[in-house]
Structure 1
Amino acid sequence: MSVAKVGAVVLDCPDPRALAGFYAGLTGGTVEGEGDWVDLRIPGGPTLAFQAAPGYVPPRWPAADHSQQFHLDLTVDDLDAAEKEALALGARPLDADDRARTFRVYADPAGHPFCLCAC
Structure 2
Amino acid sequence: MAIAEVGSVVLDCPDPRALAEFYAQVLDGTIVDEGEWVDLKVPGGPTLAFQAAPGHVPPRWPSAEHSQQFHLDLTVEDLDAAEKAVLELGARPLETDDRERTFRVYADPAGHPFCLCAC
TM-score (norm 1): 0.98
Match of 1:5 in 2: 5
Q: Distance in 2 between matches of 1:115 and 1:63?
A: 16
Give per-residue Cα distances to partners, 1:50-70, cap 9 Å, x unaligned.
000011000001000000000
Match of 2:49 in 1: 49
* C-alpha RMSD of the superposition: 0.6
SS of the residue 2:116 aligns to = strand
Match of 1:78 in 2: 78
Give the aligned length: 119
Shift of 1:43: 0.7
TM-score (norm 2): 0.98
2:84 counterpart letter in structure 1: K
Q: Specify every segment of 5 or more residues in structure 1 that has no aligned partner in the other structure, as ranges.
A: none
- Name segments (4+ residues, structure 1) moved above 3 Å: none
1:5 counterpart letter in structure 2: E
Q: Specify every segment of 5 or more residues in structure 2 that has no aligned partner in the other structure, as ranges.
A: none
Q: Distance in 2 between matches of 1:75 and 1:112?
A: 17
Alpha carbons 1:12, 1:53 under 8 Å: kept:
yes
